[in-house]
Structure 1
Amino acid sequence: MILDAVNLNGATVRLVLEDGRIAAIEPMPGPATQTAIPLPVEPHVHLDKAFTIHRARADRLGLFGAIEAMAADKARWTPLDLLTRIEDGMAEAWAAGCRAVRTHIDWTEPAVPLAWEVAAEVAEEWADRMMLVRASLSPIDLLGDPGHGPKIAERVARDGQVLGAFIYRHPGLEDGIPFVFDLAERHDLWLDFHVDEGLEVEAAALDLITAEATRRGMGDRVLCGHACSLSIRSDADRAIDALAASGVALTVMPTTNLYLQDMTPGRSPRLRGLAPAQELRAAGVPVLLGTDNVRDPFYPMGVHDPLESLRLAALAAHLDPAEWLGAITEAPARALGLAPQPLAVGEPADFLLFPAPDLLSALARPGVPRQVWRAGCPHAEGVAP
């Protein structure tokens, strides 16, 4: 198989594909007519919550109104309901071209959640197509409880998954965060934190996570998400420098954070609520873009498609899509412990192909057409509805 006039990293090339791999990359004269990029990796979604907006409306605005609405909806979470919604989310991500997905699973009570078990079944079913990684999501006061946290960590470790916590202005963080790191060290677990998802300057748990990861040399095993308060903290530069030195990566979620942050009845938002992606990356922090919530009380629209996250981030954070492509490909792959898959000779012929001369042109309009190539064959066109 030969693909001519392909824009690959800014150069016009011919791609020669053989036996599911890239056999040759040959320079070509003239302009490109199509663009190839590596398959994206999705580092942060909530498949257990997805597609519930039609039945789970928040009674009050903002993050905690969404949390309350979601908690009420859990009474409807049967095995069939969860299986259907999680499968639908995976199908969207597959059609979008993802090579791997990390989903958070709410774990708000000591017992193992039904969604954890159902997601495990889905992961096994999809194992030969697309990796699904589960990250437990417990309030820090539950995971940091000596009576409950060790049992949660033991189960997560038994399943070979990721330990996670939600932290927002909780009391006792000076003890709770080190305790969670203790659990991770004891069971050789990776960590994933929802942290500082709000616009109060005193929300600074990220600093404690950074310090603990640095002290233990665990930064490359820790991923944080949100850190919205960094956008308004007067000491953000210091916090960002410390984060960069720690090796901890940060996921920015343009959909949910733009939607929920600075949400006030009868008033247009003044603040974007996004962590300062440009300053973070300039300091050396690995910055990822995540889809987060899809069609649930946290974000009532959306699709499981990292390209849509890149498009919205380009608008909201003033990013050049071509310069930030790594935030949905290489950076999330590394943060999830996967080897990046560059488009190079000898590598798998897995990529997205757009009928456009460059990435900016491909992202210029919603519903970007694409071909998803896996093992040297086009598997799908477009994004599943």
Structure 2
Amino acid sequence: MDVKIGLECHVQLTTNSKLFCSCSTDYQNAEPNTHVCSTCLGLPGALPTVNRRALRYSIKIALALGCSVQHKTIFYRKNYYYPDLPRGFQITQYDFPIAFSGLVRIESESGSGNENGGKVKGKAKGQYKEKEREIRIARVHIEEDPGRLVYKGTTETASYALVDYNRSGIPLVEIVTEPDLKSPKEARIFLGKLKSILGYLDVFDGDLEGAMRVDANISIEGGERTEVKNISSFKGVEKALFFEITRQKNMLRRGLTVRQETRHYDEMRGITLSMRTKEFEHDYRHFPEPDLVPIHITDYIEGVRQEIPELPDEKKLRFIKQYSITKEHANSLTSDIDTADFFEAVASRIEPRLSAVWIA
């Protein structure tokens, strides 16, 4: 059965202040509801002001992903009621995102197309070939993070939940892929590549819990799409997708209909649970944010382009050519910017191929 997977990656940007106010973004070490103000709490009369650094970071990400950056971007209100949204709506983007139509290349094992993302049975060790796959980026847009719900117990058994608004308003970049991924393993490989690119750009803290959260969309044989929300680890994404593929295939084999719904991944039990019926776009009643004017970013684009460093793919090719190391070593050494810098420092003093073997 043909599997289609698309990802929505929410990346917290490393700015000092929130997207629309001057409150601190250091919510991890703060007492609940201490980094808040009238703007991020949505109190009447409080007006938002766009964080310029967050805007530049989002353009930087879009350019690094090969996207076409729009010359005008507009913020919208996405209306839905949930306790972590004090305004009753989220300020996000809709028809005029920061950018669209990008591309990320990943190296996927030839056996990664099967349902569990593993290798093809019967292959001897060393016979697996990597193939380059192109994963299309549908859009890149910027939005505010909601607050954080803290449950008394698990989400299923809790008698109540507390809301911490310290996280509310932290700048997020959402990176949305087309449904080009074919297996849980490919999804995990893609996320690793995306994290590597973002690390090179120095726009997020990859070691911070919750700095990248993923919504995974999956359908089988052109059936209804199921979304698994807010998965906080790459391993969790792979496991959640594997469970969903198995669940949906079992339903189809029994003649049951897969519903379009939103599900939650229970990491402790390794299963997904139904949260609610999947909303449609018109349910959110998007309309332009009246308190923010359209932003013309033409003057930003070229300046930001000059800030983009050598990215992993470029560095990998240079390492292979300059240091005569293997592709496998180059892949390992360039997956992380700190490792790549360390290798170059060592290779300036010790034979590069020997250095690559030690470090990789």
Bigger fraction of residues in strand:
2
TM-score normalised over the length of structure 1: 0.27
Bigger fraction of residues in helix:
1
Larger Rg: 2
TM-score normalised over the length of structure 2: 0.28
